Structure formats: C-alpha cells, structure tokens
C-alpha cells in the first residue's frame, strides 16, 4: 500500500518541492518578473475556464440533492476552519506574518481537482464531490475576501476595495462562468483529454508557486522566516489538517451520512485551494507581504496531498475488502 501511495503522489510532491527550491535559488528578476506574473495569471484564468467547462449540469443536479452534505462542507470550510485559524493566530506564533498567513489559509475555499480525484480513488460519491467543490470555489470568490476584510485588518492590513473585488471576479469568476457557458461546444473535447486537464491543473499550480515564492524570496522571505519558525509552521499546518480530518469524520458519523457521502465530507471539507489562494493573496495583501502570507498555504497544500492520498488509498482498500468478508465467513 505504501508503494502504491508513493507512486501516486511522490512525483507531484517532488515537483512542488523542486519548484520551491528553484524559486529560492533562481527567482524571477527584471523583465522575468512581469513575464512570469503574466504567465501565472494566464494559467489561473485557463484553469478556472477549464473547471467551468468540466462542470456537468447533470452531475451538478445529481449532486445538488445532497444539500445537508454540501451545507456541512461549506460550514467546515468557512466556519470551522476560520475558528481554528483564529485560535492558532492567537496562540503566540513567533511571526505575526505567519499567523496572518495561517489565518488567511483557513478562509480559502476547497480545492476542485484533487478533492474530486481523491473522492474517486476512495470510491466516494463523485457527483456530490463535483457539486460541493465547485460550489465552495464559487462562493469562495465572494466569501473569502469578505472574511479576510472582517478577520484580518488587525493582523494583516487587508482592505477590501472595489478594485480588489473586480480583480478577483475577472480572474476567477468570469473565466469559470465563460467555460461553463461554452460547455455544450467544448465540454466533450475537454472531457476526452483528462491528461491535458491534469497537466494544466498541476502545471498552473507549479507556475503560480514559482512566481509567488520567487517574488517572496526577492522580498527577503528567508530573512523574515527562520528554520525554527518554518518547522513550527509545518507543525501547525499538520495539526490543523489532522484536527479537521478527525472532525469531518465525526461530523459524517453524527449526520449518519452514507459511506460514499462521508468520503466527500472528508476530502472536500479538509482541503484548501492554492490555485484560489495565490491570486487572492496577490490582490488583498501588499507585494512585500504576499510571500510570507502564502507560505502556510503552500505548506498546507503539500501536507493535504500526502495525507489525503494515504487516506484515499486506505478507504479504497476497505471498500474492496468488504465483498470478500461474507465469503470468508461462509468458508469457515
């Protein structure tokens, strides 16, 4: 099982780590800054356009009937997570900027691509995952900036202006809506090219990580964050992820969700979107602060990939073992 897990996640995790290393050693400079900024913005627009085109209305309607599940996931993303973030931010972290980044992390919506992928691996309700993850991202375009303006002024200096709202809408909501409107003409073409979509999803993440992290390094990131602070940050992110994974499991049992819906609760409820976080942080925070604010998001992103891949494989193995149990009893 561990070998299968490593085969599933290691290449992408290693690519993320390599991207951070390259951005540390060779951050974009001069004209390269503008080139990579434009490329990263274009990649995010393309990613949300494709996600909109992939959103099947039949899957959306099929998943929409699970309204209790979606309400619980949204409550986890935009209520439970922020409450945990406020508790962590007030716990006395060494760096106020890292505390701001951790709190900002908890305000983000769920991921789309990886939430659906892990749900499918774990034999969960994929239609409900598509609906829930897409709904979280759509609402997050409005809810995340509003929560940031409400909870972060004292720690991060976030000011929500018409210009910032317009930038977020144009970069995230407009391409998503355009892709969905064009789905009747391009949806089948995109659905037939899953490898291309996966490459776009992962490639855009790597590009925005390089651009954001490189800018942070140029702004003196590693003079602001030491090894001890980085280790403590990893510990806080791991603790946050563990607590949410446990609580989503408890909530699923308390709600008496079907096993396939409980899988959706675990994966959509515990994820935070780096693809959404990067452009939002660039709009909401001063350039000198963006890198430090995004560091917790990038750390959490990698931890959630590793933990959820392990959990998805474990749940899938449990499902595959169930049919064999009656036979095993009868043969005894």
What value does the CA radius of gyration of the chain take, rounded to a whole number of Å? 20
Number of H helices, E strands in the chain: 19, 0
pLDDT at position 107: 96
Rounded-to-integer distance, Cα 26 and Cα 308, Å: 31
The residue assigned the tokens 């561990």 is 2
Which helix (H) or strand (E) segment holds residue 317: the answer is helix 287-321
Half-sphere exposure in the Cβ direction for 305 (13 Å, CA): 24
pLDDT attached to residue 317: 81
User: What is residue 220's three-state secondary structure?
Assistant: coil
The residues of the chain scoring below 70 in pLDDT are 1-10, 59-60, 62-63, 93-94, 153-162, 321-332
Contact 76, 269 (CB under 8 A): yes
Q: What is d(CA 141, CA 145) in angstroms, rounded to the nearest whole number?
A: 7
- What are the C-alpha distances in Å from 115 to residues 271, 321, 323, 324, 328? 7, 23, 26, 28, 34
Q: What is the pLDDT of residues 205-231, one digit of tens each?
A: 888 888 888 888 888 888 778 888 889
> ∠190-112-200 over CA atoms, to 5°?
45
Cβ neighbours of 181 (radius 10 Å): 11
Q: How does DSSP assign 110-179, residue by residue?
A: --SHHHHHHHHHTT--HHHHHHHHHHHHHHHHHHHHHHHHHHSHHHH-----HHHHHHHIIIIIHHHHHH
Q: Give the dihedral of Cα atoms 206, 83, 237, 89; nearest 10 deg.
A: 100
The structure tokens listed for 268 are 């959509």
Angle value at C-alpha 295, between 236 and 215, nearest 5 degrees:
170
Instruction: Output the pTM of the full model.
Output: 0.84
The reported pLDDT for the residue numbered 324 is 47
Kind and range of the H or E run holding 2: helix 2-25
The rounded distance, in Å, linking the Cα atoms of 245 and 125 is 18
* pLDDT of the residue at 322: 63
Predicted local confidence at residue 71, as pLDDT: 94
C-beta of residue 10 within 8 angstroms of C-beta of residue 196: no
pLDDT value, residue 325? 42
What local confidence, expressed as pLDDT, does residue 160 receive?
Answer: 63
């Amino acid at each position: 099982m561990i070998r299968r897990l490593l085969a599933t996640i290691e290449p992408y995790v290693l690519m993320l780590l390599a991207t951070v290393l390259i951005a540390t050693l060779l951050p974009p400079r001069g004209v390269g800054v503008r080139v990579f900024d434009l490329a990263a913005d274009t990649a995010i627009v393309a990613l949300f356009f494709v996600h909109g085109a992939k959103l099947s209305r039949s899957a959306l309607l099929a998943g929409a009937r699970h309204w209790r599940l979606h309400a619980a996931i949204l409550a986890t993303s935009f209520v439970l997570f922020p409450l945990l973030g406020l508790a962590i931010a007030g716990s006395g972290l060494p760096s106020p900027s890292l505390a701001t980044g951790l709190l900002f992390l908890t305000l983000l919506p769920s991921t789309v691509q990886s939430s659906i992928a892990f749900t499918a691996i774990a034999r969960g309700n994929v239609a409900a995952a598509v609906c829930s993850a897409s709904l979280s991202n759509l609402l997050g375009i409005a809810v995340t900036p509003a929560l940031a303006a409400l909870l972060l002024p004292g720690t991060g200096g976030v000011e929500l202006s018409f210009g910032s709202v317009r930038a977020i809408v144009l970069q995230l909501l407009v391409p998503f809506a355009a892709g969905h409107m064009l789905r009747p003409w391009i949806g089948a073409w995109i659905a037939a090219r899953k490898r291309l979509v996966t490459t776009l999803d992962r490639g855009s993440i790597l590009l925005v990580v390089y651009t954001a992290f490189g800018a942070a390094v140029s702004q003196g990131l590693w003079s602001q964050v030491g090894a001890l602070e980085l280790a403590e940050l990893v510990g806080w992110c791991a603790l946050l992820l563990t607590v949410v994974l446990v609580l989503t499991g408890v909530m699923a049992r308390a709600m008496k969700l079907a096993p396939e819906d409980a899988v959706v609760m675990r994966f959509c409820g515990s994820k935070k979107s780096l693809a959404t976080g990067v452009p939002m942080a660039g709009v909401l925070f001063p350039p000198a602060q963006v890198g430090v604010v995004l560091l917790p998001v990038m750390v959490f992103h990698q931890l959630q990939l590793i933990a959820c891949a392990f959990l998805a494989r474990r749940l899938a193995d449990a499902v595959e073992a169930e049919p064999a149990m009656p036979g095993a009893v009868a043969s005894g």
